[in-house]
Structure 1
Amino acid sequence: MEWSFLLRLCVACLCGTVIGLDREYRVKDAGFRTHFLVALGSALMMIVSQYGFDELAASRDGLRFDPGRIAAQVVSGIGFIGAGTIIIHRQLVRGLTTAASLWATAGIGLAAGAGMYALAAAAAALTLFGLEVLTLFFGGLGRKRTLIVFSSPRREAIDALFGRLRTSDYTVISYEVEAVRAGGEALYRATLVIRARGNADEESYIALLREAADVTVERIV
């Protein structure tokens, strides 16, 4: 029986690692180690839920318990990890896909922990299909929003860069400029959220940022 449990853990870890490698390749916060541990923990909880109380049930006649109660808490608990991968700033949301992949990986781990190897493998394959294959076919339908924070001691430089970014290739979702002091020096800091239009390159704005004089790029999300 112990070897059967180890096999279930190994299958869960393998499926979680494969999905995590895809997220690692996409440079996401939750990579193969996180997915590995989520799948491992989910499988372990399922095994404990199914078999961890056999001796207790055998020693007490008429004792009834639900073997799915512990496993059910995995679905709720994984929400805390998933929420940690989601970034919400102004009108920008990041990490939803990674959070969903963690949630799916938890389900795959539960399936492997229950000994449903074919189902776990099929779910892992379908998860990768959704993450990669669907992106190839339908990735151009939705353009992601990009948050850019840049600063300059001259307001004219801020306005000039904004004018260059606000071209026919991009839609400006929001734009805000504030005066701040950094190290005793007055600066103007701009926060801009843009989205590429049509077939425009989503990252062509990087060249514009590099060409801008007297402008410091603080963050791109």
Structure 2
Amino acid sequence: METFAQQFWHETWVPFPVIVGRLLLAAVLGALVGLEREWRRRPAGLRTHILICLSTTTIAILAIEITHIDDFGGEEIRIDPLRLIEATTAGVAFLAAGLIFFAKGDVQGLTTGAGMWLAGTMGLAVGLGFWQIAVVLTLAAVVVLGALQMVQQKIRPQLPEDKETDSSSDPG
């Protein structure tokens, strides 16, 4: 018979220091993308991107963990960790879609919404242990959000009335 402590606390399959490391890395990577959004004064910035990255990392870790505990070992229960990933991406996409709107003939918030979805992907990669992919993804995101913004401004200078908002080709 299991004690209360054994029922309350599951030993993790992934070593706990690795879980902590993954969560810390997710916070740092989410912060890198969030800082760029914060710098551009977009609606979803530092805290939002960190929270999305942390939550999706946790969901990915939980997907790994539930496949290794006996509580879900019966034949009547089938574990499909991909369902958690699908639900996570759908949930983040729902949040991101809430930021996108149409105003004065321009789509607004699209880049910020894409950044939120990207933060979710980064979190899933870190949580599943693919930190190398998450780091490269984060670096690519910073380049796309930062450096390509400058290139885009050179190609298509903003009109005087557009200086306060992004235009439809870079809504964000």
Q: Give the TM-score taking structure 2 as reference length.
A: 0.78
TM-score by structure 1 length?
A: 0.62
Name the amino acid aligned to 2:89: V
Higher helix share: 2
Measured after TM superposition, the shift of residue 61 of structure 1 is 6.5
Residue in 2 that maps onto 1:20 = 34
1:19-68, Cα deviation, whole Å (9 max, x unpaired): 00100000001010000000000000111111124223774379642222
SS in 2 for 1:68: helix
Work out which of the two has the higher radius of gyration on C-alpha atoms and give 1 or 2: 1
- Change in Cα spacing, 1:10 to 1:30, as seen in structure 2 (3 Å) is same
Q: Which residue of 1 aligns with 2:59?
A: 45
**SS state at 1:115 partner:** coil
**Residue 83 (structure 1) shift:** 1.4
Please list, as runs of the form range in 1=range in 2, the aligned pairs for 1:1-221 lying within 5 A after superposition: 1-56=15-70, 59-60=73-74, 64-142=78-156, 196=159, 203=163
Residue 17 of structure 1 deviates from its aligned partner by 0.7
Question: 1:16, 1:35 within 8 Å by CA — same for their partners in 2?
Answer: yes
Q: Give structure 1 stretches of 5+ with no counterpart.
A: 145-195, 205-221
Q: Which runs of 5+ in 2 are unaligned?
A: 1-14, 165-172
Aligned residue pairs, count: 150
Percent of aligned pairs with the same amino acid? 27
CA RMSD of aligned residues (A): 2.4
Query: Larger RCO: Structure 1 or Structure 2 (Cα < 8 Å, ≥ 6 residues apart)?
Result: 2
Distance 1:71 1:128, change over 3 A: same
More strand by share: 1
Please give the alpha-carbon distance, in whole angstroms, between the structure 1 residues aligned to 2:18 and 2:89. Answer: 24
Counterparts of 1:36 and 1:134 in 2: how far apart (Å)?
23
CA contact (8 A) 2:37 2:45 kept: yes
